[in-house]
Structure 1
Amino acid sequence: MNPEYHLTFELLSYWHIGNGSEAGAYADALVLKDNHGLPYIPGKSIKGLLRQAFTTANDNQWFGTPSCELMQLLFGDEKRSGEQAQGLIQLSSAHLTAPEVAFFTQQPEAKSHLYQVLHSTAINEETGVAQETSLRSMEVAVPMTLTAILTLNTYHPEYARPENQVCEQFGTWLSQAVTLVTELGAKRHRGLGKVLVTSQPMNRE
């Protein structure tokens, strides 16, 4: 069976991953929501966070001699032709737990407690007065814990090669690399998206 790992994202602050649209009073962005109307982290975003973390760890020799081949093996590589070579890592999106989803599905009015609206405006430094038309609103999600599943594709032709060391080392590499993910989403420089990420192998019978 393919090795699987739980990735837990403990959001420590308000956070925002946008859906790319504007609506009503939310002049800047709405939070991305799943089919249940609940916030989540797309697998594509998680992969980008992990790629950045693994790259930093690799460059700093956390896994031994830095290796571009290792990064390509794990995350794939886009060729000059535009063709995408798939890597070993496969990711689900990160969601609330099944009991939490069930609760919010049965109590839809409670979903409003998962979101807040933040307002900001530009201040004229000379007058100390808000500049006209500068008011911006952003919907954010409250702190919560989300979980994703990372799977290694053991059918990848490079997986079992001894020199790649993936079988023996990946769990350790993952637990080290995720410590470098400390924030996610938009407006990170303004204090949004603080996160603690941990990994845990899934026990399978």
Structure 2
Amino acid sequence: MIYTIHFRLASDATFGRGDGVAGIVDREVEHDQYGLPYLRGRTLKGLLREEADNLLYALSAMEKNVAAWETVRDNLFGQGGSLAETTAVLRWGHAQLPEGLRQAVIQSLKGQDNPLGRQEVLHSLTALRRQTAVDPTGLPADGSLRTMRVILRQTPFVSVCTANKKLEHVEEGFLAAAVLGLRRAGTGRNRGRGLLADTDLCKESQSILQDAYNHFVQEAGL
């Protein structure tokens, strides 16, 4: 069974890869061989797992029985140190630009008359932002200037997730609730960056987000 998670950047975001380019940028975004930025599947999984944990905390605070939902969470996201029988039922793909757009860029790069390269593609989808720390006097702190590459707002992303079995309605509902809870991603997401919009969950190319979430609300007794 194929599920897809969709979102659009409502603000600039940095899906960091953990390093930079000497003399150019201190924090580079994750991008592929064609210069197309993406969010790693394991990172997306971690973000949704965090939202799932928040859901369980909220249900517990409302004195709901969370034991069954903990099982659902572990089925979807796996457990730490999982064995074969306790691994997640979902395989999380990278969140990339929509496939049609990706293929158009790739085919253009492979064209003989194409003057563009991967750097031009990367630069068309990103920009450099500079920031500095401020000392107690309000002046820029020495040596604190940092340059970060950001993916421009309005950029759409899609992650393809493959389930190794048919998900139950409660599993789809819990996943939908986690997707709806996902608000930000990337470096600095706790400082206002990486705002997400138009999040959606689809099964076999059909949106199930609202119906699945409604089922979760009913099952959770909310």
TM-score where L is the length of structure 1: 0.80
Q: Which residue of 2 aligns with 1:132?
A: 142
How many residue pairs get aligned? The number is 188
Asked if the contact 2:5/2:201 (under 8 Å) is kept, the reply is: yes
Q: Which residue of 2 aligns with 1:117?
A: 128
How far the C-alpha of 1:77 sits from its partner, in A, is: 1.5
What are the residue-to-residue correspondences of 1:4-23 with 2, within 5 Å? Answer: 4-23=2-21
For 2:188 and 2:24, how far apart are their aligned partners in 1?
15
Q: Which residue of 2 aligns with 1:178?
A: 179
Structure 1 SS opposite 2:88: coil
Structure 2 SS opposite 1:183: coil
For 1:36 and 1:49, how far apart are their aligned partners in 2?
26
How far the C-alpha of 1:183 sits from its partner, in A, is: 0.3
How far the C-alpha of 1:138 sits from its partner, in A, is: 0.7
Task: Return the structure number with greater helix share.
Answer: 2
Structure 1 SS opposite 2:5: strand
Give the gaps of 5 or more residues in structure 2: 109-115, 207-222
Asked if the contact 1:124/1:130 (under 8 Å) is kept, the reply is: yes
How far the C-alpha of 1:10 sits from its partner, in A, is: 1.1
For 2:22 and 2:124, how far apart are their aligned partners in 1?
19
For the aligned residues, what is the CA RMSD?
Answer: 2.4
**Counterpart code for 1:137:** T
For 1:189 and 1:53, how far apart are their aligned partners in 2?
14
Asked if the contact 2:76/2:171 (under 8 Å) is kept, the reply is: no
How far the C-alpha of 1:203 sits from its partner, in A, is: 5.0
CA pair 22-172 structure 1, distance change in 2 beyond 3 A = same
Q: Aligned to 2:161, which of 150, 153, 156?
A: 150
For 2:43 and 2:35, how far apart are their aligned partners in 1?
19
For 2:83 and 2:30, how far apart are their aligned partners in 1?
28
Give the gaps of 5 or more residues in structure 1: 160-165
CA pair 168-129 structure 1, distance change in 2 beyond 3 A = closer
How far the C-alpha of 1:76 sits from its partner, in A, is: 1.5
Q: Which residue of 1 aligns with 2:90?
A: 89
